[in-house]
Amino acid sequence: MKIKSITLLFLISVLASCVNTKKITYFNDVVKASGANNTNQYKQLRVQPGDVIQITITTLDKDVSLIFNPQTTAGAAPGTGGMGMEPGYLVDSAGYISLPMVGNVLVKDKTTSEINTLVAQELEKSVRNAYVSTRISNFRVSVLGDVARPGSFKVPAERISVLDALSMAGDLNTSAIRDDVMLIREVNGEKQYVSLNLNDSKLLSSPYYYLSNNDVIYVKPGPNKTFGTSKFVALLPAVISAFSLITTLIIVTVNK
């Protein structure tokens, strides 16, 4: 009888410490964390109306360079530069920016490397040996919902994944729903809503794995969050396991 009681308590302890960890584990369909995945094809960002692009133009003539890259108190390029605004040229609703000595340039649906080539070609008409560098200066993503630090995050590069964004937000809370994370993206003025499953490794090859400017990730809270018991539920397996272990030790000691 004593052996059966000890065995039963041991099984309860083991089961309690293994309460469905698959629900809080990323990519739990991956049996072994090794190998390579080349199925994901990263696509360069394309500039859209409302973006702010910073174009740096360098020439052998410092005075000419200063025309294209004036230094203001806000450190901004001539396109914008007010308080609270990103430095650069604001892409208008038609997809154009206005450059000194060049005029209107259509940049909509073009990558930064394509804009470099386009601007350099336009400058050749009046400026020789100009070097052009372009970046999207207002690239931001937002992470909302059941995460540690929700907010809007500035992206210094042109490439950021879903996992990068969640990491910037301090990762998901244990109470968060991982198999139905919502991605909100605006394309040509229309909102797209996509469900992402963080438990499935297919996400790594999804066209939505890499984010675009102004993407919003919304992490839905689980049912435990509604009742404000997420921390207790998260600690419950450990509490049960410790209690079972202590009970087992007491029974063994008493029956010696």
pLDDT per residue as tens digits for the range 49-83: 999 999 999 988 888 888 887 654 333 445 554 44
| Residues 6+ away with beta carbon under 8 Å from 201 | 27, 29, 30, 37
**β partners of residue 154:** 140
Averaged pLDDT, 164-174: 95
Q: Is the pLDDT of residue 3 over 60?
A: no
Contact 198, 205 (CB under 8 A): no
Q: What percent of the chain has pLDDT over 90?
A: 45
Contact 33, 199 (CB under 8 A): no
Tell me if residue 202 falls in helix, strand or coil.
Answer: helix
Q: How far apart are CA 195 and CA 181, in angstroms?
A: 6
Q: pTM of the prediction?
A: 0.71
Q: How far apart are CA 61 and CA 136, in angstroms?
A: 26
Provide the residue ranges of all domains of the chain, joining segments of one domain with +: 1-42+140-256, 52-136
End-to-end CA distance of the chain: 14
pLDDT at 61: 83
Q: Is the pLDDT of residue 183 over 90?
A: yes
pLDDT at 75: 39
- Quickly tell me which residue has 């049960």 as its tokens: 240
* Correct CATH for 1-42+140-256 of 3.10.620.30, 3.10.560.10, 3.30.465.10, 3.10.105.10: 3.10.560.10
Q: How far apart are CA 230 and CA 224, in angstroms?
A: 5
Q: How far apart are CA 169 and CA 166, in angstroms?
A: 5
Torsional class of 22: left (φ above 0), alpha (ψ -120 to 50), beta (otherwise): alpha
pLDDT at 161: 95
Q: Is the pLDDT of residue 224 over 50?
A: yes
Count Cβ atoms below 10 Å from residue 101 Cβ, excluding itself: 13
- Quickly tell me which residue has 């309460």 as its tokens: 19
Q: What is the CATH number of domain 52-136?
A: 3.30.1950.10
Helices within the chain (DSSP H only): 2-16, 62-68, 112-123, 162-168, 223-226, 230-254
pLDDT at 83: 45
